[in-house]
Amino acid sequence: MMTERVLVLAASDREALGGVRAVPGLQAAEAAGEVWLRGLPAAGELPLAVRALPAAAAYTLDGQGRLFPAGSRTPTAQLPALSWQPIRAFMPLELPTAALPAQGAPRYRVRLVPSDRAEGGAALLTTLAVWREYAETAPAIRLESLRFAVAADQRVLLLGTPLPPIPGQEHWLREGLLLPAGFDFEAPLLALLLARQLNANADALLLFAADGSWERISKADLVPVTRSAVRLTMEGFRDE
């Protein structure tokens, strides 16, 4: 009595088995360059996906493990002892290789645009020469509420209020970002995202220019203003 049908495929056609992963009870094994399939009903029409397989041979299996070629009453072989696996284990799912070249995350150019919002100034970007000239004679009370940092190119960033009345680019503070006065992000929600992305530890200030470029200034580099600190900083540059 026939128990089931068995199909044999060339191992090179293994990929075709992807179409029959959903057929219930199907088992597969591979040996000697061939893929064997079993678990198909002995009678009746096979599912379309099975019929579409590029089978090299099709057999009917009897209870003794003998293989009968389709339409033949004479067995031609014995079912080999194979390591059978459920079809889903035999053909695990794999992520397909992208058919198109990989794409990076879309890039967004940070743009600052003129804004009609009037915000109080929180910082002033000026030069060391201008700053020193002011600090030489400024009332102490106007200095002691400020902190400053000097860049190698002698730009000076001053923070605090009130800011000194000297020439420079005033900035306003938003989420730890210093934006030029009169400017805001083209997409205002960007401020929070940028702050999280670029200054996750909140240990720095990001100084933006009107063209959208920015530089990171560590809070540790901002020192309290004293007249001596300004004078000694200036001397340090003269010695270089």
Q: Which residues bind other proteins (CB under 8 A)?
A: 136-142, 161-162, 165, 226-228, 231-232
Residue among 27 and 233 whose Cβ is closer to other proteins: 233
Q: How far is the CB of 125 from other proteins (least distance, A)?
A: 21
Q: How far is CA 225 from the centre of its chain?
A: 42
Q: Minimum Å distance from CB 141 to other proteins?
A: 5
CB of 227 to other proteins, least distance (A): 5
Closest distance to other proteins from the beta carbon of 150 (Å): 17
Q: What b/e string do you get for 187-221 counting C-beta neighbours within 10 Å, with b at 16 or more?
A: eeebbeebbeeebeeeebbbbbbeeeebeebeeee
Q: Which is nearer to other proteins, 93 or 141 (CB)?
A: 141
Are 170 and 123 within 8 A, CB to CB?
Answer: yes
Shorter beta-carbon distance to other proteins: residue 80 or 120: 120
Note whether 152 and 125 are within 8 A (CB): no
To the nearest whole angstrom, how small is the minimum distance from the Cβ of residue 133 to other proteins? Answer: 12
Q: Which of 103, 157, 151 is nearest to 126 (CA)?
A: 157
Nearer to other proteins (CB atom), residue 97 or residue 137: 137
- Specify the residue, 197 or 228, whose C-beta has the smaller distance to other proteins: 228
B/e letters for 153-177, b = 16+ CB within 10 Å, e = fewer, are ebbbbbbbeebbebebbbbbebebb
